[in-house]
Every structure is written in structure tokens, then in C-alpha cells.
């Protein structure tokens, strides 16, 4: 029987795209007959204390010889010594959603330290799985040979078509944690420049991952007079997120950087028109008829795109029709698991 140990920092139930990928992939591999054990490390990564690193080392040491171990890069990237120590007896596979040093808004001193540590950790891995094509080029600077890198993009869960708002203001939806890289400030400034006030925005995503950003966004909403039109919902339950998608008319994703864009795929699965940035796999997901794309961080361009979809009902309907066409072509988690299984089997021989 094929088996795998998946190592993640903190709880695998954490509500972010990376953890969603980890959860869905583990479930899809199990559905294909794999035995998948999950080891949760402390939640201090990628800035663990010495005690947390010691406990992580003990967790690795407890895994039987010869096991295939898939380690989320949020942890592996700062565990070079531990990875090097165990590499001779474990089949270590790195799972990199985004290189730690490439995180938007990261302080330079941390970026330098992360890059040095991650370079060593990745050299100890037999294979590096990345979740988006754009990460392949990013890993070249780490000295990772292209033949050791496998792209396994996320799948998408089937979902019913969104009903949209029945009456009242146009409902906009954004699903992303309030962190420096998700572009909420760009979105809020763009909305502030639009004279029409017949809209409401729901922001679903944790406010706790980067409290300084959450505080700045609350202040920005007050400053721009938007605090009555924008709801910072925090980390909503799965059911509440699904309900938010169902009530939405337009999905907005102003992220500064993505490796893929899972929430955009989820919006397309519901037939929602999308206004997003042209980063990661988002242009490929949207194609030429399911949304409008702008440059990351461009407030004026985002304002123009938002104004277009708000004021032009026919445009929204055309984009929604494009999204409905796209939803039938979205990759499934079973297809993603098939690619992951093939990658893992490369190191099991």
C-alpha cells in the first residue's frame, strides 16, 4: 500500500489557501487508496523558537526509515539542519506554495535569512512540488534543478451556481486573509474613487494572521468613509463562505502575488464574474471571457474595472456566461491527486 506522511506547521484546519491545498490533497490521495498520516508541528513557523524546532526534529526522527515525507514549505524552509540530518533515511519531498523570501511585504533582513535557509532545506529534498508554474522560475535562484521540480496545481471543488443579489445594492465578494500581499488597500482605495454607493463588499478572511495590516485596513475604511459599505467578516465558517459566494454578484481579488489563485477558481466554479490581478495562474483560469484583469497594485486600473462591472449589467452578464463556460474545464482534486501521486512515486523507488 502506498503511504505518505504529510507535515504541516500548526493546524491543518487553518483557513488559508495553502492549508486548503494540503487538506484537499490529503483527502484526494486517500480516495485513491493512499495511507496519509498528518503530523502537525507548532504554529510558530516560519519564525519558530528553538524549542519548537527541537520538537519538529523529534517529530521527523519518529518517522520510520524509508518513509515518503511531504513537508509544507512554510516549515521546511526554516528547517535546513533538520532536513539535512534526516535526508539519508527519509524520502523528503518539499511542498512549496511560495518561497518564504518571496512573501510580499517581508522585511529585507528576514528575506535574506529565509533565502539562505530555504536554499539548504530544498537541497536536502529529493523532489520539490510547487503549486503554480510561476514558482518554478522563482526556485531557479535557489539552485534547484528543473528536473527536481514538479508542478501540481490545485483542484477545484464542484459548486452550485451563485444566485446573486435578489435586490438592493450590488454584492461584491473578496476571500483572502488580511495580509500585506492580498491587496486590500488597493481595493479599498479603488472603491473610494467610485461615486456610486449602490454596492456592498464582504471581505471573508482572517484578521488575525497579520494584525498590523488588519488595523491599517480598518483605519483606511474609516478614512475613506467606506466602513458602512465594507464588512470585514474575519474567518468565516465554511457554510458562511459558501453563502457569501451564493449571494455575490462579482468576485474581486486584488492580490499582489499568487502562485495559482484558488479562490478565483472557486468563484468561477460558481459562475461569478471576476475582477482580479494578472498574477499566478489567474489569467489562464479566467481566459478571455470570464473577468477583467489589472496590474497588481494599480489603484486607477482596478477602479476602472470595478466601475465597468458595477455600471454595465450586460458586461456582468457576459462575464458570468464566460465563467459558466470555464467552470466545466476547471481541474478536479482527483486530477491534482493523480499528478501528486505520480510525483511521489518517483521518489519511492
23-38 pLDDT, tens digit per residue, is 999 999 999 999 999 9
Q: What is the mean pLDDT of residues 235-254?
A: 95
Domains identified in the chain and CATH numbers: 3-155+332-347 (3.40.50.2000), 170-327 (3.40.50.2000)
Q: What is the pLDDT of residues 294-349, one digit of tens each?
A: 999 999 999 999 999 999 999 999 999 999 999 989 999 999 999 999 999 988 76
Torsion angles phi and psi, residue 35, rounded to 5: -95, 120
* Contact in structure between 293 and 264 (CB atoms under 8 Å): no
Answer whether residue 16 shows pLDDT above 90: no
* Contact in structure between 205 and 235 (CB atoms under 8 Å): yes
Residues 6 or more apart whose Cβ sits within 8 Å of residue 144: 122, 123, 128
Q: Which pLDDT score is estimated for 322?
A: 97
Residues 6 or more apart whose Cβ sits within 8 Å of residue 129: 70, 93, 94, 95, 96, 149, 150, 151, 152, 340, 343
Cut 0.85: pTM above it: yes
Strands 91-96 and 149-151: unpaired
Answer whether residue 109 shows pLDDT above 90: no
Determine the distance from the C-alpha atom of residue 338 to the mean position of all C-alpha atoms in its chain, rounded to a whole number: 20
Q: Which pLDDT score is estimated for 35?
A: 96
Amino acid at each position: 500500500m502506498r503511504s505518505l506522511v504529510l507535515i504541516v506547521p500548526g493546524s491543518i484546519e487553518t483557513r488559508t489557501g495553502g492549508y486548503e491545498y494540503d487538506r484537499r490533497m490529503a483527502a484526494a490521495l486517500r480516495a485513491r487508496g493512499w495511507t496519509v498520516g498528518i503530523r502537525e508541528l507548532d504554529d510558530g513557523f516560519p519564525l519558530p523558537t528553538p524549542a519548537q524546532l527541537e520538537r519538529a526534529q523529534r517529530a521527523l526522527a519518529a518517522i520510520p526509515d524509508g518513509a515518503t515525507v511531504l513537508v509544507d514549505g512554510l516549515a521546511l524552509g526554516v528547517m535546513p539542519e533538520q532536513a539535512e540530518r534526516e535526508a539519508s533515511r527519509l524520502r523528503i519531498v518539499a511542498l512549496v506554495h511560495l518561497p518564504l523570501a518571496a512573501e510580499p511585504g517581508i522585511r529585507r533582513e528576514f528575506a535574506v535569512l529565509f533565502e539562505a535557509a530555504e536554499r539548504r532545506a530544498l537541497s536536502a529534498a529529493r523532489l520539490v512540488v510547487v503549486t503554480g508554474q510561476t514558482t518554478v522560475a522563482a526556485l531557479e535562484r535557489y539552485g534547484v534543478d528543473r528536473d527536481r521540480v514538479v508542478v501540481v496545481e490545485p483542484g477545484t471543488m464542484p459548486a452550485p451556481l451563485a444566485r446573486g443579489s435578489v435586490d438592493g445594492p450590488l454584492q461584491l465578494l473578496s476571500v483572502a486573509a488580511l495580509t500585506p500581499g492580498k491587496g486590500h488597500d488597493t481595493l479599498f482605495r479603488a472603491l473610494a474613487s467610485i461615486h456610486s454607493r449602490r454596492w456592498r463588499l464582504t471581505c471573508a478572511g482572517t484578521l488575525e494572521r497579520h494584525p498590523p495590516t488588519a488595523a491599517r485596513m480598518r483605519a483606511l475604511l474609516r478614512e475613506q468613509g467606506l466602513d458602512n459599505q465594507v464588512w470585514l467578516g474575519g474567518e468565516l465558517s465554511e457554510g458562511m463562505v459558501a453563502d457569501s459566494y451564493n449571494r455575490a454578484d462579482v468576485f474581486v481579488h486584488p492580490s499582489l502575488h499568487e502562485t495559482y489563485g484558488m479562490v478565483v477558481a472557486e468563484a468561477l466554479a460558481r459562475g461569478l464574474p471576476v475582477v482580479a490581478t494578472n498574477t499566478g495562474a489567474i489569467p489562464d483560469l479566467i481566459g478571455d471571457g470570464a473577468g477583467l484583469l489589472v496590474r497588481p497594485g494599480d489603484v486607477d486600473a482596478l477602479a476602472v474595472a470595478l466601475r465597468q462591472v458595477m455600471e454595465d449589467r450586460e458586461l456582468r452578464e457576459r462575464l458570468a456566461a464566460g465563467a459558466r463556460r470555464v467552470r466545466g474545464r476547471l481541474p478536479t482534486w482527483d486530477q491534482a491527486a493523480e499528478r501528486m501521486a505520480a510525483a511521489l512515486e518517483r521518489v519511492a523507488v
